[in-house]
């Protein structure tokens, strides 16, 4: 947008004002979309995510490798969700053995640091497969985290940078077949649908 400004002696100059940029559009995955690629590796002995395959310890595994034999149920989780957090975690603990029994695998990406995750798993005495999502990069690529549309700006009781509660079922061809994204923190994933998708993916030719 251009404006003409006249000074006190009659000189006219033109300036351009930049319009305020709109908030970053968060593109959530939809059924049928290809799941964005990421890697799992260890960093100082702790499990973390990465957007590159480089690993000092040479233990990096890509999403493609994870999907080679089993469909993947990928969930994002944060203890900072308040009362919603234990509810979602209990759901994951309950459904994990059912996913495994049907030939699938569950991976949880958490907002907390690796050391916090380690303490959490010991306290809960659970064998959930939980990785620290470094710099929230995977959550950002899956459309469930945005710096310009923070959850604390619209959900009471949350004051930290967190993921949107979410869960995805990803088949061996890297296609997403089920998505759960709870923008309003008032819902739960559909266990029957998740297990059905895992079963169908595992037995698909």
Q: What is the pLDDT of residue 26?
A: 54
Asked if residue 185 lies in contact with residue 203, where contact means CB atoms within 8 angstroms, the answer is no
Q: What is the mean pLDDT of the chain?
A: 83
- The whole-number average pLDDT for the span 152-174 is 85
Q: What is the CATH number of domain 23-202?
A: 3.40.30.10
Q: What is the pLDDT of residue 150?
A: 72
pLDDT tens per residue, range 24-45: 445 778 999 999 999 999 888 8
pLDDT tens per residue, range 62-102: 999 999 989 999 999 998 888 899 999 999 999 999 999 99
Q: Which residue has the higher pLDDT, 17 or 149?
A: 149
Q: Encode 148-170: b = buried (16+ Cβ within 10 Å), e = exposed.
A: eeebeeebeebeeebbbbbbbbb
Domain parsing of the chain, residue ranges: 23-202
């Amino acid at each position: 947008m251009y404006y003409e400004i006249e000074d006190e002696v009659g000189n006219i100059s033109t300036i351009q004002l930049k319009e305020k940029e709109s908030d970053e559009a968060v593109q959530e995955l939809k059924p049928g979309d290809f799941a964005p690629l990421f890697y799992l590796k260890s960093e100082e002995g702790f499990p973390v995510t990465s957007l590159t395959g480089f690993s000092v310890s040479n233990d990096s595994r890509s999403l493609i490798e994870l999907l080679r034999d089993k469909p993947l149920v990928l969930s994002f989780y944060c203890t900072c969700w308040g009362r919603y957090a234990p509810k979602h975690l209990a759901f994951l603990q309950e459904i994990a053995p059912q996913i495994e029994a049907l030939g699938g695998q569950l991976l949880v990406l958490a907002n907390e640091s690796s050391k916090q995750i380690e303490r959490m798993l010991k306290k809960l005495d659970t064998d959930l497969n939980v990785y620290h999502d470094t710099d929230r990069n995977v959550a950002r690529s899956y459309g469930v985290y945005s710096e310009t549309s923070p959850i604390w700006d619209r959900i009471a009781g949350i004051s930290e940078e967190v993921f949107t509660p979410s869960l995805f079922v990803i088949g061996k061809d890297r296609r997403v077949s089920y998505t759960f994204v709870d923008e309003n923190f008032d819902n739960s994933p559909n266990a029957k649908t998740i297990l059905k998708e895992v079963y169908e993916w595992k037995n698909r030719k």
